[in-house]
Structures are given as structure tokens and as C-alpha cells.
């Protein structure tokens, strides 16, 4: 476990520190509500929980009975040379053997039960997070860092889990140990217990003081470490550019500043944090000395026997142990609570509103798309689209044009219902899209986005992603249509080539072609192209466009492209500027208007001639 913990810890620290402004907000939930929720996760396995409780109490009791027995044996031995009561000694020894073996067996069982318990909690938590992740609106992922979400689902869940499996167990056993030791000490020598009236408050005050003092130091440490990690991550990813500009020295200076701050915070935290160990030992030794002196006094006065003294000393050690551990447990719990907050924040993030209960399933779509009086804005008071009317007949081509940043992808977001309109409505074959299921609406489109997305899997799996029952013939046909087939066959493993994370040998253009092949395979009657071919070189694009034209037949198409020559054949052109639809019409009518489109079009000629 240690191995996993350490790495997890490091990563967690990074998550912790990577700038407060861009983290998804872990709302300040009150701790009690949080514990109730954690309890609910535990409560799902009531049987295991009860078993764990039972095992932990019995195993602790068995171990705790040991000193009592050894004390009894020592009393029997203490009768002096030649007078040792061997019967008692053997009886005690046999009982001790039995008790210790049973106790160890029970401890192992307890570990096993706790492992299962924490495994089930972790699994459930990850499941819940992921489940909600898939339901979140697209906009959520535009706002938050991927790494942050990943660190929550892995490291934060782990932190919570470790706290549950380790701290919970420790608390449970500590309570048993402290109670039983206390009772035992009371039965052996009530007067000696008075010593703890002194040492317990000392321990308590000390740990409180330490926690208060050290916690902010460790917080600073995590923050500085996080800053360093963030800086390193950023600068290493830009290493090529930094080198190209020869800025290594300046960057190194900044790195050194962050490095120094991190090391300093680290040293301070460490130096103060390591006070605890020796101090705890000191208090232990102090109790031992006091117990020893006072019990000797009692022994001299004949108030207790030697064996009792022995057991008392052992119990006093057991008694002070857990109390001193409290400080550690509390700080562990702090980090677990912080982690749980982040996990729950992700589980609670608002998902896309559910489909209407009477939502229709779109079937055999004709491809008649109509937008009526649509208003939309990402941020209130900043309207992006106002009063937009658009009618795309089945099989027609709608081109969306406009300068950079004009908000062309917004239209796509609305068509696919990644966002809902603020007013007005969008109709597919006469059905308002909010009255049909999202999944059937989205399935009615095939889509090729600007950013290519491939996953860890074979080329075949990636192309067939949208059509799980696709045959090899279909996949090959799609790949041929996308002009990627010959490239694929040249690979040693052909269609079974595994696309790994860094996409090793696959260039950007080839990735784009694969996603086009994926879209080709779909049977949808509507098609969305978002600057899809801008990464492909012109020669290949010529071929693709020919194939696309075949694909587009009988399909309602929405195309975002910069190349005006390809848009001239559109049935309807939507011209956007600064987030607004400024003009709409065919190429001829728009040219005749001599408006924005006309200027845009002519600027291309201006550039060419």
C-alpha cells in the first residue's frame, strides 16, 4: 500500500495547490452533513460493518487480557527461588498462547473485512462520480481542468478510502484499548491511575497545540508544492518554445524561486511536524517514570504486588499510546474531509436535465430542421443569438460562415442540444427537440468536430465506435471513403493497430481522417461538419470532399468552414459576426446585398489577386 499512498499523496498535493481560481468549487459543506454522507456509503454494507465492529472489539480485548495474565504469572513466579507456582505459570502461559493466536487471527480477519468494506466504498464512490460525469452538460468540461477531475476520481477517492479503512479502524481500536486499559488499571491499582490525571491533560493540550501550530504549515507546504508542480507541468510542456526563444535562464530563475519556496515550506513543516514523535515518546517515558516511582513506593509499603506492577506498566503504555495517536488521526481526517468535499462536489454537480417523462424517441428522421425565434446566451446579459429563424429542408446544405470567434460552434451546440435555447424552439421533423430523448436526437446526426478524438483501442474499434455491430467490410468501406484505408493497410497490424495515448505514429491529419471514417459509418440523416477538414492537406481534402458530397446526398447538412468556395453550393448561408447572425440567404442573394458576406467573400479575392 505504501507505494500507492506515496504517489497518491504527491498527486493529491498537486491537486491541492494548483491555483484556487481554476478549481471546481468544493463548496463548504458542513462537516456533519459530510460525515452523514460518508456514513451512508458505509451503511450499504451493514453486515461487514457489524462484523468489523465485533472483530475489532474482541481482538483488542484478547490482546488486552495478555498483560493481566502475564502479571498473574509473574505474581506466581515472584514467590522466590524454589517456590515458583508452576501450575499457575503454565495455566497462564497456555491461556496467553491461545489468546494471542486468536487475537492475531481475528486481527487478520478484521483487516480482510475492512479491506472489503473500503473496497466496496471506493468502488461505489468512483462509480457515482463517473456516473454523474457522463450526465454532466458539455459546458462543465469547458470550464474545469481535466487533470483536476481525474485527480478527484483517483486520488481524492483514495484518500477518503484510506481514511475509512485505516483511521476508522484505529479509532475503533483506540476506544476499546483506552477503555479496557483504564478499567484494568483501575482494578489493579486505582491510586496509580491518578498519575494520568496529570499526563493525560498534558498530552491533550500538547496535541491540540501541535495541531494548531502544524496544520497551517502543512497547508502552506501543499500549496507551495502544488505551485511548483503546476509551474513544472506548464514549463515542461512548453520546453520546445522556451528553447526556441532561448529563455531557459529566466525560466530557471523562476523555477528556483518556486523551488526555494517549496523547500523552505517543506523544511519548516517537517521540522515542526517531527516535534510530535519525540514529544509523544517523552510523555510516554514521563508516565513510565512516574508509574515506576509511585508503584515502587506502593510496593515498598506493601500495597501492591510485583506482578500487578508489571501489568500496570504494560497497561499504562497501551493506554497512552492511542491518546498520543489522536493528533495524527485528526490530521489524517482533515485531509480526508477535504478530499470528500471534492468528491461530493463532483457527484453533486448538476447534470443535464433529464428527458421529459413523455419524451418521444425520434425514429426514421427525414431531416427537416427548423429554428424558430431562437434566443440564446452563455452568460446572462450577453445574448449570443437573438430571434434566429432558420429552416433547413431535408437534404439541404446549410453553411455557417463568419470570422474567427463569431460563435459558429454555438449553432452546433444548440442543434445537438449540448445547450438548451433560452427562448424559441428547435424542431426536427416538426418535433420540438426538448420533447424527444436526447439520445435519439443526437443519434440522428453524424458529426465531425474540429478537435479529433480517438480513444485507447484499435483502429477498427475507433472507426466502429458509433456503430458497435459494424462488420469489417463496412469499416473498410468507410475508411476507403475517408481515404485512410491505404494508410491503415500499410501499418503492420492494419486495422488491429492499437492507438495508444500519445498516438505515436498517427499525425493530426490522419487522426482527422479516422474521425471522418467514423462519421461515414453512421446511418444518420443529418450531418454536422465543424471545420472538419481544416487539418487535412488540400490534396487529401479534395478527395474527401468528393466522398463527402456522396455522403451528404439526401442528408441535411450543417457545415462550418472557412473556405468560401466550398460554401458557394450551399442552399442557405448563415453569416455570423461577433456572436450574432447578421445575414442569411444564398450566395447570390447575399452577394447582391453587398453586406458583410460580400465583404468577407471579396476579402478572399483580395488576398488571392
Partner 1 sequence: MKQLWKYIRPHRFFILATLVIKFLGTYVELMIPDLMETIIDEKAPAGDMTQIYLYGGGMLLCAVCALVGNIVANRMSAVSSGKITRAIRHDLFVKLQSLSARQMDRLTVPSAESRLTSDTYNINQMLTRIQRMGIRAPILLIGGIIMTLQMDAALALVFIGLLPIIGVVVYFVTKYSVPMHMRQQTVLDKVVRVVQENITGIRVIKALSKSDHEKARFHAVNEELAQTGLKAGMITSVTNPVSTMVLNLGLTLVVVVGAFRVNSGEIQPGVIIAFLQYFTMILNAMLGITRIFVMWSKGAASADRVADVLELPEDLAVVPAEEGERSGKAAHIEFRNVSFSYTGVGMDIENLSFRLEHGQTLGILGPTGSGKTTILNLLLRLYDPDAGQVLLDGQDIRTIPYEQLREKFGIVFQNDFITEGTIAHNIRFFRDIDDATVYAAADAAQAEFIAEKEGGMDAEVVVRGNNLSGGQKQRLLIARALAANPEILVLDDASSALDYQTDSRLRRALRENYRNTTTVLVTQRVSSLRHADLILVLDDGRVSGAGDHAHLMQTCEEYRSIAQTQMGDRREGA
Q: Which helix (H) or strand (E) holds 587?
A: helix 587-593
Among 164, 168, 536, 570, binds partner 1 (CB under 8 A): 536
Alpha carbon distance 438, 444 (integer Å): 10
Site membership for partner 1, residue 96 (CB under 8 A): yes
> Which of residues 246 and 357 has its CB atom nearest to partner 1 in the complex?
246
443 vs 476 by CB, closer to partner 1: 443
Give the span between the Cα atoms of 132 and 341, in whole angstroms: 16
Residues 348-387 that bind partner 1 (CB under 8 A): none
Q: Output 456 or 594, the one with its CB closest to partner 1.
A: 456
Site for partner 1 in 241-260 (CB under 8 A): 241-248, 250-252, 254-256, 259-260
Please give the residues from 172 up to 211 whose contact with partner 1 meets the rule CB under 8 A: none
Tell the smallest beta-carbon distance from residue 179 to partner 1 (Å): 20
C-alpha cell at 419: 445547450
**Residue 432, strand partner residues:** 427
DSSP string, 500-511: -TT-TT--HHHH
Cell 445575414, located at residue:
583
Q: Which of 33, 39, 50, 127 binds partner 1 (CB under 8 A)?
A: 127
Q: Which stretch binds partner 1 (CB under 8 A): 24-32, 198-206, 237-245, 490-498?
A: 237-245
What phi and psi values does residue 23 have, to the nearest 5 degrees? -95, 150
CB nearer partner 1, residue 38 or residue 561: 561
Q: How many CB atoms lie within 10 A of CB 121?
A: 20
Distances (CA, A) of 88 to 85, 91, 306: 6, 5, 16
384, three cell numbers: 449570443
Non-local CB neighbours of 277 within 8 Å, separated by 6+ positions: none
Name which position in 430, 468, 486, 490 contacts partner 1 (CB under 8 A): 468
The residue range among 48-56, 205-213, 426-434, 600-608 that interacts with partner 1, by the rule CB under 8 A, is: 600-608
- Single out the residue of 29, 37, 49, 78 in contact with partner 1 (rule: CB under 8 A): 78
Write out the binding residues for partner 1, residues 257-276 only, by CB under 8 A. Answer: 259-260, 263-264, 266-267, 270-271, 274-275
Minimum CB distance to partner 1 smaller for 29 or for 449:
449
Q: Does 171 bind partner 1 (CB under 8 A)?
A: no
| Residues in 405-464 at the binding interface with partner 1, rule: CB under 8 A | 405, 416, 418, 438-439, 442-443, 445, 447, 449, 453, 455-456
| Three-state secondary structure of 213-261 | HHHHHHHHHHHHHHHHHHHHHHHHHCHHHHHHCCCHHHHHHHHHHHHHH
Q: What residues between 301 and 330 interact with partner 1 by CB under 8 A?
A: 306, 309-310, 313-314, 317
Q: What strands lie across the sheet with 572-577, from one edge to the other?
A: 445-448, 526-530, 556-560, 397-401, 572-577, 580-585
Query: What SS3 class is residue 383?
Result: coil
Least distance from C-beta 347 to partner 1, angstroms? Answer: 14
Considering only residues 101, 205, 354, 472, which one is a binding residue for partner 1 as defined by CB under 8 A?
A: 101
Interaction of residue 282 with partner 1, rule CB under 8 A: yes
Single residue of 123, 208, 391, 549 touching partner 1 by CB under 8 A: 123
Binding residue for partner 1 (CB under 8 A) from 33, 36, 97, 186? Answer: 97
Least distance between partner 1 and beta carbon 373 (Å)? 26
C-alpha cell at 412: 452546433
Segment lying near partner 1 (by CB under 8 A), choices 38-46, 116-124, 201-209, 365-373 = 116-124
Find the part of the chain contacting partner 1 (CB under 8 A) among 170-178, 203-211, 373-381, 559-567: 559-567
89 binds partner 1 (CB under 8 A): yes
d(C-alpha 307, C-alpha 310), whole Å: 5
268: nearest Cα among 304, 222, 231: 222
Across-strand partners of 526?
A: 445, 556
Asked if residue 492 binds partner 1 (CB under 8 A), the reply is no
Q: Supply the minimum distance, in Å, between the C-beta of residue 234 and partner 1.
A: 6
d(CA 117, CA 119): 5
CA atoms within a 13 Å half-sphere pointing along the CA-CB vector of 360: 14
The DSSP code for 21 is: G
DSSP per residue, 445-473: EEEE-SS----SEEHHHHHGGG-TT--HH
> How would you classify residue 376: left for phi > 0, otherwise alpha for psi between -120 and 50, otherwise beta?
beta
Number of residues that bind partner 1 (CB under 8 A): 171
- Near partner 1 by CB under 8 A: residue from 26, 171, 232, 347: 232
- For partner 1, the closer of residues 36 and 382 by Cβ is 382
Q: Out of 6, 33, 194, 592, which residue is the one contacting partner 1 (CB under 8 A)?
A: 6
Site string for partner 1, 563-582 (x = CB under 8 A): xxx--x--------------
Which of residues 191 and 247 has its CB atom nearest to partner 1 in the complex? 247
Q: C-beta of 30: minimal distance to partner 1 in Å?
A: 29
Of the pair 30, 142, the CB lying nearest partner 1 is at 142
Cα–Cα distance measured from residue 535 to residue 228, given in angstroms and rounded to the nearest whole number: 35
Q: What is the 3-state secondary structure (H, E, C) of 31-96?
A: HHHHHHHHHHHHHCCHHHHHHHHHHHHHHHHHHHHHHHHHHHHHHHHCCCCCCCCHHHHHHHHHHH
- Is 17 a binding residue for partner 1 by CB under 8 A? The answer is no
- Region 149-168 residues binding partner 1, contact defined as CB under 8 A: 149-150, 153-154
- Please report how close the Cβ of residue 465 comes to partner 1 at its closest, in angstroms: 7
Nearer residue to partner 1 within complex by CB, 274 or 493: 274
- Interface with partner 1, residue 299, by CB under 8 A: yes
Quickly list H helices, 361-430.
408-415
- Closer to partner 1 by CB, 35 or 236: give it: 236
Amino acid at each position: 500500500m505504501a507505494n500507492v499512498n506515496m504517489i497518491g499523496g504527491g498527486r493529491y498535493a498537486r491537486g491541492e495547490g494548483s491555483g484556487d481560481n481554476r478549481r471546481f468549487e468544493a463548496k463548504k459543506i458542513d462537516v456533519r452533513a459530510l460525515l452523514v454522507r460518508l456514513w451512508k456509503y458505509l451503511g450499504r454494507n451493514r453486515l461487514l460493518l457489524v462484523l468489523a465492529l465485533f472483530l475489532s472489539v474482541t481482538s483488542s480485548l484478547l490482546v488486552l487480557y495478555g498483560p493481566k495474565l502475564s502479571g498473574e504469572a509473574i505474581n506466581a513466579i515472584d514467590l522466590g527461588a524454589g517456590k515458583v507456582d508452576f501450575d499457575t505459570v503454565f495455566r497462564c502461559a497456555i491461556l496467553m498462547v491461545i489468546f494471542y493466536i486468536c487475537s492475531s487471527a481475528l486481527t487478520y480477519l478484521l483487516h480482510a473485512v475492512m479491506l472489503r468494506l473500503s473496497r466496496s466504498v471506493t468502488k461505489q464512490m468512483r462509480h457515482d462520480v463517473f456516473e454523474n460525469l457522463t450526465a454532466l452538460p458539455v459546458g462543465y468540461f469547458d470550464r474545469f481542468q481535466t487533470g483536476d477531475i481525474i485527480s478527484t476520481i483517483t486520488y481524492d477517492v483514495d484518500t477518503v478510502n484510506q481514511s475509512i479503512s485505516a483511521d476508522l479502524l484505529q479509532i475503533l481500536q483506540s476506544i476499546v484499548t483506552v477503555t479496557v486499559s483504564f478499567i484494568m488499571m483501575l482494578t489493579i491499582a486505582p491510586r496509580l491511575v491518578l498519575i494520568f490525571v496529570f499526563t493525560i491533560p498534558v498530552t491533550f493540550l500538547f496535541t491540540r497545540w501541535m495541531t494548531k501550530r502544524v496544520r497551517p504549515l502543512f497547508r502552506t507546504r501543499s500549496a507551495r508544492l502544488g505551485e511548483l508542480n503546476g509551474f513544472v507541468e506548464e514549463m515542461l510542456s512548453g520546453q520546445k518554445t522556451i528553447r526556441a526563444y532561448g529563455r531557459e535562464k529566466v525560466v530557471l530563475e523562476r523555477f528556483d524561486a518556486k523551488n526555494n519556496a517549496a523547500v523552505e515550506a517543506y523544511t519548516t513543516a517537517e521540522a515542526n511536524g517531527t516535534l510530535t514523535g519525540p514529544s509523544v515518546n517523552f510523555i510516554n517515558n514521563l508516565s513510565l517514570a512516574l508509574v515506576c516511582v509511585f508503584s515502587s513506593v506502593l510496593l515498598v509499603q506493601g500495597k501492591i504486588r510485583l506482578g500487578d506492577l508489571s501489568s500496570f506498566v504494560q497497561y499504562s503504555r497501551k493506554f497512552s499510546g492511542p491518546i498520543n495517536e489522536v493528533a495524527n488521526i485528526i490530521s489524517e481526517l482533515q485531509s480526508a474531509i477535504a478530499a470528500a468535499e471534492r468528491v461530493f462536489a463532483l457527484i453533486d454537480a448538476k447534470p443535464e436535465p433529464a428527458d421529459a417523462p413523455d419524451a418521444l424517441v425520434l425514429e426514421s428522421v427525414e431531416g427537416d430542421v427548423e429554428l424558430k425565434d431562437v434566443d440564446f446566451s452563455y452568460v446572462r446579459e450577453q445574448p449570443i443569438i437573438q430571434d434566429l429563424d432558420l429552416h433547413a429542408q431535408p437534404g439541404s446544405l446549410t453553411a455557417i460562415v463568419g470570422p474567427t470567434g463569431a460563435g459558429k460552434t454555438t449553432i452546433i451546440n444548440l442543434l445537438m442540444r449540448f445547450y438548451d435555447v433560452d427562448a424559441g424552439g428547435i424542431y426536427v421533423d416538426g418535433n420540438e427537440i426538448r420533447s424527444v430523448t436526447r439520445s435519439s436526437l443526437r443519434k440522428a446526426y453524424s458529426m465531425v468536430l474540429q478537435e479529433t478524438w480517438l480513444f485507447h483501442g484499435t483502429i477498427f474499434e475507433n472507426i466502429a465506435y458509433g456503430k458497435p455491430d459494424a462488420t469489417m467490410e463496412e469499416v473498410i468501406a468507410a475508411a476507403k471513403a475517408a481515404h485512410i484505408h491505404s494508410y491503415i493497410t500499410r501499418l503492420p497490424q492494419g486495422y488491429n493497430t492499437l492507438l495508444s495515448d500519445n498516438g505515436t505514429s498517427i499525425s493530426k491529419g490522419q487522426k482527422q481522417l479516422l474521425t471522418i471514417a467514423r462519421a461515414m459509418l453512421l446511418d444518420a440523416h443529418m450531418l454536422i461538419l465543424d471545420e472538419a477538414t481544416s487539418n487535412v492537406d488540400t490534396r487529401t481534402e479534395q478527395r474527401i470532399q468528393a466522398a463527402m458530397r456522396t455522403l451528404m446526398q439526401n442528408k441535411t447538412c450543417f457545415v462550418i468552414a472557412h473556405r468560401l468556395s466550398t460554401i458557394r453550393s450551399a442552399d442557405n448561408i448563415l453569416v455570423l459576426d461577433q456572436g450574432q447572425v447578421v445575414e442569411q440567404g444564398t450566395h447570390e442573394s447575399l452577394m447582391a446585398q453587398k453586406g458583410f458576406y460580400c465583404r468577407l467573400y471579396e476579402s478572399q479575392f483580395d488576398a488571392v489577386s
